[in-house]
Every structure is written in structure tokens, then in C-alpha cells.
């Protein structure tokens, strides 16, 4: 089990919120953090494999680049809101793995990693659950060649968020996820992709922005969902939120009405 400290610093909160274009003063003024903010833990993980080598004079060979798994789902669960100034301890629990057969007959290998975040008293205050798939036919076959989903109707009046290359780079810099498929055009096209593309967690962070705009002073206690489609440079994302009792349904679509995130969240009581 890997264990390391994660300081919740205002400067990094600002980098994160600016990367998703979120001006919410609740974050800017040093109060709480966005619901997907704990992805910054990767910046502090001494074993994280998506950081460039510290020896910048050596060009890593392709075989040493991190494997491109397909990130298909993510969840966050909170016992209480996380505040700026805390120092949490992250614990990567042993990975769960299982397989199933896909609709096209290929074998899908699922890999689930749970990270616990503990406060200074050793109490678990949050969990992040990351689920990857290793498809039998490779990441590119599922992400590029998959048929387009049916479009769904959406309100064009909803705020649209354009995902520029600059925004992608701002986000990967804020969280420390430097897989070359998200910022290196030459690498992406050499591996059969039309261009770089956004990390799935940028898509979820954009959905999280709509969630916190909607929730007001109520803290997000859980936020999870399926990363349902790839997001490319210049895509415009809009998020729809439906309320069903204490649960919020959250769905993000691109400019063609294709779902790129499909999830749900629960809220706590209004904070003072």
C-alpha cells in the first residue's frame, strides 16, 4: 500500500479552478475545494508513472511511456467537506481486478484503484475510486473507432465550455497527469489518434463545476459516474442536472448532443 501526504494548498486550488474556468468565490477565497479536486493527489504520489523523468536530458523510449488504459468511471465520496490548509494522508489500496466479455466478443480487463484520504487524526474523510479498462483490442480501438452514440436533446441556452488545447494543458498541469496522449500532438497522431484529447477527469471536472453552481452552499457528499465519450479540442460541453429527492442526475453532452459524462451526486446540509 502506497501512502503519502497531500497538502491542500490555496495556490494549487487556484490552478485547478482556473484550469476548468470556475470563478466560484467559495474556492477562490480559500474555503472549500471542488468535488473532483482530489485528483491533485497524483502530483504528490512518489510512484506516479505519468510524470516526466526528472532527468530532462533523456528522451524516454516508447516502451517506458505509461500504458494508455481506458478510464471508464470515477467516484468521490466524502465524510465532510475538504478545506484549504489541511494536510491529508493518501493511501492507495490494493487494486481490484476482474474481467468480462464485451459486446463485440473481446475480453475487457477492469482495474479499480481506491485512494483513501485521512485527516490529521487518522480518520478517513474521503475516497476516490478510479476504474480503468484494458481492452483486448487496445485503447485506440475503443476510443477512436467506436461508433458515435445517438444524440440526445439539450438546451442550447445552457452554459457551454469550450475545451481548447490550452485548457487541456492547464488541467494536466494542475493535477500532474502528463500522459503524452493529452498534450503531445506528435505522439498522439503517431499512435493513430486524430489529435490529443482531454483527460476524462477534465470532463468530470467541468460537470462538477455545474454541480457546485447548482448546489450553492450545500456540500457535495458523493459524486460519481461514467466517462462515456472522448472529448477533443474545440468540443463544447454542456451539463444538465436533474433532481430526484436528495440525488442529482448529472449528464454532460458535447455540441453534437453525444453524452460524454453520465453520473449522479448527493448533497449534504447547508454549511454555515
**Residue 90 falls inside a structural domain:** yes
Residue 171 lies in a domain: yes
7-21, 57-71, 144-158, 228-242: least confident range = 57-71
How confident is the model at residue 211, as a pLDDT?
Answer: 95
Answer whether residue 141 is part of any domain: no
- Let me know if residue 92 belongs to a domain: yes
Q: In this structure, are residues 34 and 209 in contact, taking their beta carbons and an 8 Å threshold?
A: yes
Give the domain extent around 104: 2-136+147-267
CATH number reported for the structural domain that contains residue 229 in this entry: 3.10.129.10
Give a yes or no: residue 106 inside a domain. Answer: yes
- In the chain, how many domains are there? 1
Neighbours of 148 (CB within 10 A): 8
Residue 70 lies in a domain: yes
What pLDDT score was predicted for residue 56? Answer: 55
Does 42 map to a domain?
yes
Q: pTM of the full predicted structure? A: 0.90
pLDDT digits over 181-208, tens only? 999 999 999 988 999 999 999 999 999 9
Residue 108: which region, alpha, beta or left (left: phi > 0; alpha: psi -120 to 50)? beta
Does 142 map to a domain?
Answer: no
pLDDT tens, 162-177? 999 999 999 999 999 9
Amino acid at each position: 500500500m502506497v501512502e503519502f501526504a497531500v497538502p491542500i494548498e490555496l495556490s494549487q486550488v487556484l490552478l485547478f479552478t482556473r484550469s476548468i474556468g470556475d470563478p466560484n468565490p467559495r474556492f477562490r477565497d480559500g474555503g472549500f475545494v471542488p468535488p473532483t479536486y482530489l485528483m491533485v493527489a497524483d502530483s504528490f504520489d512518489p510512484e506516479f508513472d505519468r510524470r516526466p523523468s526528472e532527468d530532462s536530458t533523456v528522451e524516454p523510449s516508447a516502451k517506458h511511456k505509461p500504458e494508455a488504459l481506458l478510464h471508464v468511471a470515477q467516484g468521490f465520496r466524502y465524510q465532510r467537506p475538504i478545506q484549504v490548509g489541511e494536510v491529508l494522508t493518501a493511501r492507495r489500496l490494493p487494486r481490484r481486478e476482474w474481467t468480462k466479455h464485451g459486446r463485440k466478443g473481446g475480453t475487457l480487463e477492469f482495474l479499480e484503484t481506491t485512494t483513501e484520504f485521512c485527516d490529521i487524526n487518522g480518520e478517513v474523510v474521503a475516497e476516490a475510486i478510479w476504474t480503468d479498462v484494458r481492452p483486448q483490442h487496445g485503447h485506440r480501438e475503443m476510443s477512436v473507432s467506436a461508433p458515435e452514440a445517438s444524440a440526445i436533446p439539450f438546451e442550447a441556452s445552457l452554459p457551454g465550455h469550450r475545451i481548447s488545447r490550452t485548457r487541456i494543458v492547464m488541467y494536466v498541469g494542475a493535477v500532474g497527469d502528463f500522459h503524452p496522449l493529452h498534450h503531445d500532438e506528435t505522439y498522439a497522431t503517431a499512435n493513430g489518434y486524430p489529435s490529443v484529447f482531454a483527460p476524462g477527469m477534465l470532463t468530470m471536472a467541468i460537470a462538477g463545476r455545474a454541480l457546485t453552481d447548482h448546489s450553492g452552499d450545500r456540500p457535495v457528499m458523493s459524486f460519481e459516474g461514467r466517462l462515456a465519450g472522448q472529448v477533443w479540442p474545440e468540443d463544447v460541453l454542456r451539463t444538465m442536472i436533474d433532481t430526484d429527492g436528495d440525488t442529482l442526475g448529472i449528464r454532460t453532452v458535447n455540441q453534437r448532443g453525444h453524452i460524454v459524462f453520465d453520473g449522479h451526486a448527493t448533497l449534504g446540509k447547508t454549511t454555515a
